[in-house]
Homo-oligomer: A and B are copies of this chain.
């Protein structure tokens, strides 16, 4: 395995966890760190995980991207609410052969990076995981953990390079042959379960599963999202289609095993933080409306979430 020079931009829960896994695999990982800079400088970076705890005593951390400079790979794990800062934060790390993995939630983010840095170097990553930040310098990986990765142009040779990056790490990686399909599939879970968890007042996903009305609402929302995804795939001349029946069944079965799961958007909500509404809900809604897909419940849900996010 070729060891790579990597910049992690956005060292929140996901960035620290996956960056630490890459560092443990031998890569040369550099973290752009804001909130936890001083805590990690003095005390190190601590990961608890069912895959094995992990401590980086002296990780390479920086306050600016310029100090990191050009790298082979950027792992961008910014919160999508900071997407407008993406170009400025990544630019000092991006050289001619740099590749960028957008490890963020939502739709349309790779498009932004492609516009700034050339489409052929952009990848999207979807983390199916439960990772929270604890005290400064501490990250708690609670369960699950695979990443699905796709190339922005669905180039197979390029995708192989992204998969190779993780080959010696403890992170399971799945290949997506159609990034747009994978993004919509993830939204198929995220929109109903994260959205209802917030709009119902900040509840865990088991309550959505158990409550007849919320369970039905989740089904209807999921149907709207997956129908929108297939319309969007057709609009983008993609041959891939989401098999809604199988996916709905899979999502509800897997959610029923999760227990009192707190989606990240719900955690943001109850902690009074800005929620990632536009990337996860707003952009899918805009596309559905443009394509004429009937999405009455997604429309109302997104409207309510925007109102709940007001002023954050």
* A residues whose Cβ falls under 8 Å from a Cβ of B: 196, 199-201, 203, 207, 211, 213-214, 216-217, 220, 296-297, 299-304, 306-308, 310
Contact = CB atoms under 8 A, between A and B. Distances in A.
9 contacts: A196-B307, A199-B199, A200-B307, A201-B310, A217-B299, A220-B299, A296-B296, A300-B300, A300-B301
Q: Is the interface of A mostly helix, strand, loop or mixed?
A: helix
Contacts of A304: 196, 199-200, 217, 304
Nearest to A221: B300
Contact of A217 (B199, B220, B300): B300
Contacts of A213: 302-303, 306-307
A200 B307 CA distance: 5
Contacts of A220: 296, 299-300
This chain: how many copies in the complex?
Answer: 2
B296 A214 contact: no
A301 B199 CA distance: 10
A297 B304 CA distance: 12
Contact of A300 (B211, B297, B308, B310): B297
A47 to B, nearest CB: 35
A304 B207 CA distance: 12
Contact of A297 (B201, B207, B216, B296): B296
A115 to B, nearest CB: 27
A220 to B, nearest CB: 7
Contacts of A301: 300
Contacts of A211: 303, 307
A265 to B, nearest CB: 15
Contacts of A302: 213
Contacts of A214: 303, 307
A196 to B, nearest CB: 8
A96 to B, nearest CB: 43
B201 A308 contact: yes
Contacts of A300: 217, 220, 297, 300-301
